[in-house]
Amino acid sequence: MTNDLKHLRETIRIARESREAGNHPFGATLVGPDGTVLLRSGNTYMADKGVGHAEMNVAREASRLYSPEFLEKCTLYTSVEPCCMCAGASYWAGIGAVVYGMTEKRLAVLTGDNPENLTLDLSCETVFKAGRRKVETRGPFSEIEEDVAEGHKGFWQ
């Protein structure tokens, strides 16, 4: 869990940078089986609009660079639970584990009805359970949940 928190804190830092660049406040990293950070991305809303999610960006690049057999041993870390689109991208890329800091339900409270982030009430666990291969999930983490939420305060009004 110590490494989970370390990597999640990195996603919070990436989310802050993303927000400062005018994008939505989300961050994600892909960590290899030996603990090395392989990829990182913030949200790219300014360029990609509704599909520029941090997790989607990482999953897309991971599938270009690595085999599914390797990705099965990797972990996607993300500041907020992946939406169903990002969970699907992680699944199809072959990523073996997903760790998130704050739930999509909590995000929905923070974003409200903002048209740039109309969250779907569909957990990543539900998406993964519908598949034919196992994706391990861990989250949310109460130790950092408020830090994740802080990055969204005042953004969605």
Which residues are identified as catalytic?
55
User: What residue type is 121 in one-letter code?
Assistant: D
Contact 100, 81 (CB under 8 A): yes
User: Looking up tokens 């969250």, which residue turns up?
Assistant: 119
What is the distance of C-alpha 59 from the center of its chain?
A: 10
Distances, alpha carbon 110 to alpha carbons 57, 114, 156, in Å: 23, 9, 7
107: number of CA atoms within 13 Å, CB side?
A: 26
